Amino acid sequence: MFPSGRPRGLVRPILNKGWVSEIFVSLQGEGPYTGVRQVFVRLSGCSFGCGYCDTKRARKRARTADFPGKRVLNPVLVKDVIAAVKSFGKIHSVSVTGGEPLEQPEFTSELMKGLKKAGYTNYLETNGALPGVLKKLLKYADIISADIKLSSATGRKPALKAHREFFKLSGKKTFAKIVVTGRTSGRELEAALRMLRGIVPGITACIQPDPALGINGVLRKFGTVLEKGILKDLRVTPQVHKIAGLR
């Protein structure tokens, strides 16, 4: 687990340039904003290494980035990313996702600042484990999707201290996403929900099953946890883009 600041040695800080994996338009497929039209700016590089990661291509810093209609060399300029976003017409918001956007703090901050200036709503998608970085760019984020990483799902030590700090800072613009698998226990899930309730009462949280477990698996395995009503707005949400065959 890395500390709450910048992960060591992963990404060189270059203010206006960053590593991008791809930029494309699609529908958001996870959580409470499912179905809204977004441009996805998928940044490249993540040192977390979750067992269930479905964006493996974006975990390593890529040599090239897939822009609309062309492939370009990394690192790319903020202004070029914003121009690519503008080419897609009207959208609900821009999903700045990864990989892990907060592992490129300067670039992500400059990008979200530029997008806001251009009139866009920023939807930041993060592993929720880098509160020290979040502080620097929180003002540019309109909606934050932050994970609670359970060790049963990631195969790593839990990052609970970092998550606690993160949710304290990010507050009400954030919803939590908790990926659960067949290995997740009711006790582990319940502890995460109670932690969230203690930090941000009223937060929206989404339990997202890995495909092997599915919604039925969640109901079967965690029915007694759901019955407790620990959070007022707790949802069980599948990855709709996968079901629909979207990107």
Nearer to ligand SF4 by Cβ, of 37 and 60: the residue is 60
94 lines the binding site for ligand SF4 (CB under 6 A):
no
99 lines the binding site for ligand SF4 (CB under 6 A):
yes
Residue that is written with structure tokens 């500390």 in the block: 3
Contact segment (CB under 6 A) with ligand SF4 among 2-10, 49-57, 62-70, 237-245 equals 49-57
User: Smallest distance, Å, CB 22 to ligand SF4?
Assistant: 13
59 lines the binding site for ligand SF4 (CB under 6 A):
yes
146 lines the binding site for ligand SF4 (CB under 6 A):
no
Positions in 106-145 near ligand SF4 (CB under 6 A) = 127
Residue from 100, 106, 165, 210 that binds ligand SF4 (CB under 6 A)?
Answer: 100
What is the rounded CA–CA span in Å between residue 118 and residue 80? 13
Could you tell me which of 140, 142, 144 has the C-alpha nearest to residue 168?
144
Q: How far apart are the first and last CA of the chain?
A: 30
Nearer to ligand SF4 by Cβ, of 17 and 149: the residue is 149
In sequence order, what are the residues at sequence separation of 6 or more whose Cβ sits closer than 8 angstroms to the Cβ of residue 72?
A: 64, 65, 80
Contact segment (CB under 6 A) with ligand SF4 among 31-39, 45-53, 164-172, 236-244 equals 45-53
3-state secondary structure of 128: coil
Contact segment (CB under 6 A) with ligand SF4 among 3-11, 97-105, 201-209, 229-237 equals 97-105
Residue that is written with structure tokens 């939807």 in the block: 123
By the 8 A CB rule, do 237 and 208 touch? yes
Residue 138 tokens read as 């929180």
Other CB atoms within 10 Å distance of the CB of residue 230: 17
Residue from 3, 13, 35, 49 that binds ligand SF4 (CB under 6 A)?
Answer: 49
48 lines the binding site for ligand SF4 (CB under 6 A):
yes
Cis preceding-peptide flag for 75 (omega within 30 of 0): yes
Q: Binding residues for ligand SF4, per CB under 6 A?
A: 46, 48-50, 53, 55, 59, 98-100, 127
